[in-house]
């Protein structure tokens, strides 16, 4: 999928790249993504479509609910913050918890009453505490 996304972004098919990323990797229903494409926020999705190539490369094989490969992050030696929104679905919390268990120096933080459309103030407080102590 990475090469397909690169081609779509390079040919300015940013909406198609986002659509492909959402329906092929996390397996969102095609109808849901089709509906998203009609919403006022969709141009914002297209604006960041170029980042999906990196996302797809990093997430390779980990975005469809299968157990995470135990050795994939074993060499991460720096403190790592795994964040999820407490208002999100159980799969998001479970994914974060699974990653925390695999990262040698990870800590988790739930963003209260947040999910995708999160408050910058809530995120800033969590990041400041992590990075500044």
Instruction: Say if 103 falls within a structural domain.
Output: yes
Q: Please say which residue of 26, 59, 92 terminates a domain.
A: 59
Q: What's the pLDDT tens digit per position in 34-78?
A: 999 999 999 999 999 999 999 999 887 777 777 888 888 888 999
Instruction: Say if 65 falls within a structural domain.
Output: no
| Total of domains in the chain | 2
Both 9 and 54 in a single domain?
yes
pTM of the entire predicted model: 0.69
Cα-based angle 54, 59, 62 (whole degrees, multiple of 5): 170
Q: Residue 95 pLDDT more than 90?
A: no
Both 55 and 84 in a single domain?
no
Q: Residue 92 pLDDT more than 90?
A: no
Instruction: Say if 68 falls within a structural domain.
Output: no
Q: Residue 83 pLDDT more than 80?
A: yes
**Domain span at residue 45?**
2-59
pLDDT for res 31: 95
Instruction: Say if 102 falls within a structural domain.
Output: yes
């Amino acid at each position: 999928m990475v090469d397909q996304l690169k081609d779509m972004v390079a040919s300015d098919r940013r909406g198609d790249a986002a659509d492909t990323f959402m329906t092929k990797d996390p397996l969102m229903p095609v109808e849901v993504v089709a509906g998203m494409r009609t919403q006022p926020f969709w141009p914002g999705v297209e604006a960041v479509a170029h980042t999906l190539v990196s996302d797809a490369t990093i997430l390779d094989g980990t975005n469809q609910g299968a157990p995470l490969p135990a050795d994939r992050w074993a060499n991460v030696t720096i403190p790592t913050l795994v964040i999820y929104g407490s208002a999100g679905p159980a799969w998001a919390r479970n994914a974060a918890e699974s990653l925390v268990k695999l990262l040698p120096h990870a800590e988790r933080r739930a963003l209260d009453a947040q999910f995708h459309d999160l408050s910058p103030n809530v995120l800033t407080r969590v990041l400041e505490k992590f990075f500044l102590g």
